[in-house]
Structure 1
Amino acid sequence: MSDRSLPSGLYEQTLLDLKRRIRSAQVRAALAVNQELILLYWQIGQTILEQQQREGWGTKVIDRLARDLKQEFPTLGGFSARNLKYMRAFAEAYPDPAFVQRCVAQIPWRHNLVLLDKLKQSEERAWYAQQSLENGWSRDVLALQIESNLYRRQGNAVTNFDRTLPQPQSDLAQQLIKDPYHLEFLTLGKEAQERDLEAALITHIRDFLLELGVGFAFVGSQYRLEVAGEEFFVDLLFYHLKLRCYVAIELKMTAFKPEYSGKMNFYVAAIDDLLRHPSDNPTIGIILCRDKNKTIAEYALRNVNSPIAISTHRLPKQLEDQLPTIEQLEMEINTVLSDLVEQVEQVEQAERP
């Protein structure tokens, strides 16, 4: 059959399909190679551990082993003494081979080095490894999440999800919401208001989406809702792809106040009526404040029937807070001048006959 006899678009569609299959095969092959390599590293580390326990192997033996392995496999990297010590630490950190195969062998070796370098608790290592696998974090994102203490912040917000959402959505929603949210990537003045915070978050929406977590899709800011002929505006509106629901966020630069929950309850009800599709789950509201009193927050949500979370944000420390005031500068200058005058008088007295 000649090229001319091909039906219109058939060749292009066939080519696209073949490209997709080749790329998919490449990804599977790369993942398989990574998994086999990390399983090999674990086996090497396990062997070193066993020999240390039985034969008392020390650092010099590991150095010798590194030289011999590099001599035998000159085209393969990864057999330096430093990496062999990481393999030993890797096997020591994960004694269960089933967990290694199921989880940590699925993420790149450099990700595992971050976990070994930055974390001491096995439970935390396992949690970050699983999150990295599920969310497809890069090495830098993994390091950032560890530095921001995501393990401790996840699921800490005050919510009423156990009453207002069905299982298992209530547990999933609780785990997805953090407290506090770290917004150090923003640059705000000392007198910043809610609108300033909102504008900064929109400008840095990619960073904010990363902090929110995987699954949040941005819908809009100051999202207009018309109720009974009146206009109302939600600060930030998102849709969560896994929860299958809208998520409304109200930003506050003050500590939480009980009246905030009433306003959010209104927004959630309006979004459910005006935007929610029949297949969507109930809308969730998040009140993001500078600070909160847990008891007051729990009272504020006790009789609210809409799913609402109350969380806090952490903004970067302002430069103005670090600079001395004019009064402090004047006091410092006066102190320095007094010290100079005293020193001059002492020199003059010493020089007198």
Structure 2
Amino acid sequence: MDHSVQNNPLFTSIRQLIEDSKQQVAVAVNATMSMLYWKIGTAINKELKKFEGEKNYGKQIVATLWRHLQSEYGTSFSEKNLRRMMQFADVFPDEKIVVSLIRQLSWTHIIVIIPIENPLKREFYIEMCRLEKWSVRTFRERIQSMLYERTAISKKPEKTIEYDLELLKS
């Protein structure tokens, strides 16, 4: 590429517009797909509640559904992914919270956060991820390193820590 063009302010400005638009499209696509997954999970969970006493029937519904969806729409609708969608809808039943969440985190981030059962711990990681703009890899590493637990321990008053240490010694 001609270096005189590359350093041209007009080229630089237009290039930035293109890059910004590409980023906005990626965020919009991710948010739309995440909302779709939440709605699918919600719909399946609602249907399964009708057959709570019939455990095998619920499994049959999901099995039939994923086979048809996967054959028509691809591996994004595998049984494992449908179960993730259902879990997503269970963990975040409030659509307003989901709308906020999908603006902040990608679907891959959401998959990482879903298994965390403690709501405070889950909220801590969501907020840290949002503030620090963690990649999914970093996000997983922070969770595996027990950042929440280490942060919680470091916030304890000294007397509580001393008491906990005494319990450990006895």
1:125 and 2:125 aligned: no
Q: TM-score, normalised by structure 2?
A: 0.78
Shift in Å, 1:27: 0.4
Change (3 A) 1:141 1:102: same
Q: 1:272: which partner in 2?
A: none
The structure where helix makes up a greater share of residues is: 2
* Structure 1 residue 26: Cα displacement: 0.4
Match of 2:148 among 147, 151, 158: 151
Whole-angstrom CA distance in 2 between matches of 1:105 and 1:83: 20
Counterpart amino acid of residue 33 in structure 1: V
Where does residue 67 of structure 2 map in the other structure?
Answer: 67
Displacement of 1:153 after TM fit?
2.9
Deviation string 1:41-68 (CA, Å, 9 cap, x unpaired) is: 0000000110010134522211211111
Q: Distance in 1 between matches of 2:119 and 2:44?
A: 20
Q: Percent identity?
A: 26
Deviations 1:63-83 (A, max 9, x none): 211111123324xx4100110
TM-score when normalising by structure 1: 0.39
- 1:111 maps to a residue whose letter is H
Tell me if the contact between 2:27 and 2:103 (Cα under 8 Å) persists in the aligned partners: no
Pairwise CA distance, 1:18: 0.3
Q: Secondary structure at the match of 1:137?
A: coil
1:286-305 maps to which residues of 2 (within 5 A)? 294=158
Aligned to 2:25: 29
2:59 and 2:89 mapped to 1: Cα distance?
A: 17
Structure 1, residues 83-116: CA drift from partner, whole Å, max 9, x if none?
0001001100001111111024531222122112
Say if 2:138 is the partner of 1:141.
yes
Q: How many residues align?
A: 152
Tell me how far apart the structure 2 counterparts of residues 67 and 13 of structure 1 sit (CA, whole Å).
53
Aligned residue number for residue 162 of structure 2: none
The one-letter amino acid paired with 1:28 is Q
* Partners of 1:78 and 1:126 in 2: CA distance: 26
> In the alignment, is residue 54 of structure 1 matched against residue 50 of structure 2?
yes
Question: d(CA) in 2 for partners of 1:139 and 1:86?
Answer: 17
Give runs of ≥4 in structure 1 deviating > 4 Å.
155-158
Cα separation, 2, equivalents of 1:43 and 1:123: 24
Do the aligned residues in 2 keep the contact of 1:110 with 1:139 (CA within 8 Å)? yes
Cα offset, 1:145, TM superposition: 1.3
Cα distance in 1 between the residues matched to 2:120 and 2:59: 28
SS in 2 for 1:30: helix
Shift of the 29–95 alpha-carbon distance from structure 1 to 2, 3 Å rule, reads: same
1:126 to partner: Cα distance: 2.4
Query: Which whole-Å CA distance do the structure 2 matches of 1:23 and 1:142 have between them?
Result: 25
Pair 35,67 (structure 1): closer, same or farther in 2 beyond 3 Å: same
Preserved contact between residue 48 and residue 88 of structure 1 (Cα < 8 Å): yes
3-state DSSP of counterpart to 1:78 = helix
Matched, 1:91 2:89: yes
- The RMSD of aligned alpha carbons is 2.5
- Shift in Å, 1:156: 5.2
Match of 1:44 among 23, 40, 43: 40
CA distance in 2, matches of 1:41, 1:127: 23
2-structure distance, mates of 1:106, 1:37 = 14
